[in-house]
């Protein structure tokens, strides 16, 4: 597996991973509610994902193996993780750990000392185990019960 910057040519495959990850893995968040899913997926189109890869104040990284996109990660420069979705087929193989580490390295290269994100319920334990801490009150997003504002001081273990 390699992690590299996405190009607009990756948009269709990256978009498919994002949508499958939300639909199949984030059940604790959307609980199968079609209204929540509809709002969450509304902007998850290849056209929109292509704009995430435009390099304009943001980075989009893809984890790729044998030509297939396994996961998609986005950073709003310099220090906000805005996208982190793994393919259901690639879950629990260390892909997201590697991708988040790459996003953190990108933020460090941009001069950031801290990094922020809004975690799903599904990924909350994953981020806690990687040094992120809750900051502030959970918020509902797309109608979900709770998304967790989190931060991590960069350059410290884990
Ligand atoms: C939670 C999630 C982000 C983790 O991504 P991943 O690529 O599967 O994670 P990794 O393989 O790098 O890390 C493995 C994690 O799963 C656990 N794990 C590994 N194998 C497992 C298995 N067979 N069953 C259950 N958990 C397992 C590991 O213990 C580790 O979690 P922990 O260290 O917090 O205990 C991903 O699985 C997921 O559900 N994504 C959905 C989209 C989403 O919510 N994205 C976040 C947006 S903010």
Cβ(74)–Cβ(82) below 8 Å? yes
User: Binning pLDDT at 50, 70 and 90, where does residue 155 land?
Assistant: confident
pLDDT of residue 156: 57
pLDDT of residue 4: 98
Question: Counting every residue, how long is the chain?
Answer: 158
Query: 11-64, pLDDT tens digit by residue?
Result: 999 999 999 999 999 999 999 999 999 999 999 999 999 999 999 999 999 999
> How far is Cα 105 from Cα 36, in angstroms, rounded to an integer?
33
Query: 59-115, pLDDT tens digit by residue?
Result: 999 999 999 999 999 999 999 999 999 999 999 999 999 999 999 999 999 999 999
Cβ(53)–Cβ(72) below 8 Å? no
The more confident residue out of 125 and 155 is 125
Say if residue 157's pLDDT is above 80: no
For residue 58, the SS3 value is strand
| Dist. CA 125 → ligand 1 center (Å) | 8
Q: What's the pTM value of the predicted model, to 2 decimals? A: 0.94
> How far is Cα 60 from Cα 156, in angstroms, rounded to an integer?
24
Pocket of ligand 1 (CB under 6 A): 21, 25-26, 84-86, 91-97, 117, 119-120, 122-123, 125-126, 129
Cβ(137)–Cβ(116) below 8 Å? no
| Dist. CA 96 → ligand 1 center (Å) | 7
Ligand 1 nearest-atom number relative to CA 90: 7
Query: 113-147, pLDDT tens digit by residue?
Result: 999 999 999 999 999 999 999 999 999 889 888 99
Cβ(110)–Cβ(79) below 8 Å? yes
pLDDT of residue 121: 97
CATH of domain 2-153: 3.40.630.30
């Amino acid at each position: 597996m390699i992690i590299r910057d996405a190009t607009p040519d990756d948009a269709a495959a990256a978009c498919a991973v994002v949508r499958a990850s939300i639909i199949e893995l984030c059940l604790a968040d959307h609980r199968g509610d079609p209204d929540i899913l509809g709002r969450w997926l509304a902007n998850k189109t290849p056209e929109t994902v292509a704009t995430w890869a435009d390099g304009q104040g943001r980075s989009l990284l893809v984890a790729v193996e044998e030509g297939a996109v396994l996961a998609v990660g986005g950073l709003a420069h310099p220090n906000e993780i805005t996208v982190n979705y793994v393919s259901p087929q690639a879950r629990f193989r260390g892909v997201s750990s590697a991708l988040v580490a790459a996003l953190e390295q990108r933020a460090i290269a941009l001069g950031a000392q801290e990094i922020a994100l809004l975690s799903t319920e599904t990924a909350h334990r994953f981020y806690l185990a990687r040094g992120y801490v809750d900051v502030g009150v959970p918020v509902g997003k797309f109608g979900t019960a709770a998304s967790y504002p989190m931060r991590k001081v960069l350059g410290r273990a884990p």
